[in-house]
């Protein structure tokens, strides 16, 4: 074999070896990621409080993101008492997030499910594939599916409280504002809504002011689209009561939008209240459910919506 042929053969062997190593590394990395995901899922299930059962990935549509997790007190389905439902929608800038994240469910499940509530945590399709308008439709579809199935979980179809954080807070506020339309489309009436730190109650006002780039991704440049996705502009007579929790630490001042929204609702005969908190954006989500004045203030609003809810909360 000539020297040139020998060098060519060695080069080919080197490339083949590198390719095999790269494939092996990728396969090992994939197995590692799958293993870690499995461990995280197992850990999440193991962290459930005693007496709480999780029914995972209940479908409300054909897309893999159209799923919800249902947390129920053990043995509730056999009880003659139908449980109120907290219907939770995660945040993540309309682009990220998941129903199973600890800060979305951990403290809320630990606080309220042992008291006799059912908590449902919802996923929805995300940007860039799914625009915000369709995300709100996903949330409504999930709500309607949950209301229809509530009796099989021992829950009361007529005693839902909507709750959402960040982008999820915007989505539940928008759905709440358009409640009469949702009822015409088949939803059951719900008791009220808790919006956890949304800065998008008035979408046109936010978009015309200096704002984060993520809002451009979500709401674009069309003022008509802003109005269509603005809880302030979409609020209709007959919408359920709403509590807006807002961070006083944020530079974009979500409390200003919440205050304006509350005034707007009240002048039209509705009920809305604002709960400012000296907490960061993420803390408002993660700390709800811990024993605190903050949690008790949210529970005071929840208790005001319904006698059964008040009794379970000891009010």
- Residue 13 has a pLDDT of 38
Tell me how far CA of residue 175 lies from CA of 51, 94, 165, 289, in angstroms.
32, 15, 14, 24
Report residue 268 as tokens: 């039209």
pLDDT digits (tens, 9 = 90+) for 185-226: 999 999 999 999 999 999 999 999 999 999 999 999 999 999
Q: Which long-range contacts (CB under 8 A, 24 or more apart) does 227-230 make?
A: 227/203, 228/133, 229/132, 229/133, 229/136, 229/170, 229/174, 229/203, 230/174, 230/200, 230/201, 230/202, 230/203, 230/204
- Residue 141 has a pLDDT of 98
* pTM recorded for the entire structure: 0.85
CA dihedral 152→51→300→251, nearest 10 degrees, is: -100
Q: Quick check: helix, strand or coil at residue 274?
A: strand
- Residue 80 has a pLDDT of 65
Cα separation, 136 vs 140, in Å, equals: 6
Report residue 146 as tokens: 């949950």
Report residue 263 as tokens: 């005034």
Tell me which residue has tokens 């979980």: 153
């Amino acid at each position: 074999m000539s020297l040139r042929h020998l060098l060519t053969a060695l080069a080919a062997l080197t490339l083949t070896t590198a390719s095999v190593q790269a494939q092996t590394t990728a396969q090992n990395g994939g197995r590692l990621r799958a293993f870690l995901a499995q461990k995280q899922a197992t850990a999440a299930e193991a962290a459930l409080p005693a007496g709480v059962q999780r029914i995972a990935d209940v479908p409300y549509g054909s897309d893999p993101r159209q799923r919800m997790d249902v947390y129920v007190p053990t043995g509730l389905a056999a009880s003659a008492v139908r449980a109120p439902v907290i219907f939770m929608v995660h945040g993540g800038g309309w682009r990220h997030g998941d129903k199973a994240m600890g800060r979305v469910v951990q403290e809320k499940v630990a606080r309220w499910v042992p008291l006799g509530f059912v908590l449902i945590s919802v996923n929805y399709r995300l940007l860039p594939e799914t625009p915000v308008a369709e995300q709100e439709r996903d949330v409504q579809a999930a709500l309607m599916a949950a209301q229809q199935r509530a009796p099989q979980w021992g829950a009361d179809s007529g005693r839902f409280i909507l709750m959402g954080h960040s982008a999820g807070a915007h989505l539940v506020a928008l759905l709440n504002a358009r409640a009469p339309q949702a009822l015409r489309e088949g939803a059951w009436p719900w008791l009220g809504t808790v919006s956890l730190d949304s800065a998008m109650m008035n979408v046109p006002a936010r978009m015309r002011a200096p704002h984060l780039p993520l809002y451009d991704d979500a709401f674009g440049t069309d003022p008509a689209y802003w109005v269509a996705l603005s809880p302030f502009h979409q609020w209709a007579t007959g919408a359920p009561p709403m509590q807006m929790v807002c961070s006083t630490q944020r530079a974009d001042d979500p409390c200003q939008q919440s205050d304006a929204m509350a005034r707007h609702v009240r002048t039209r005969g509705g009920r809305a209240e604002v709960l400012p908190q000296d907490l960061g954006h993420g803390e408002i989500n993660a700390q709800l459910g811990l024993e605190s004045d903050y949690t008790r203030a949210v529970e005071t609003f929840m208790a005001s919506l319904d006698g059964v809810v008040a009794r379970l909360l000891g009010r």
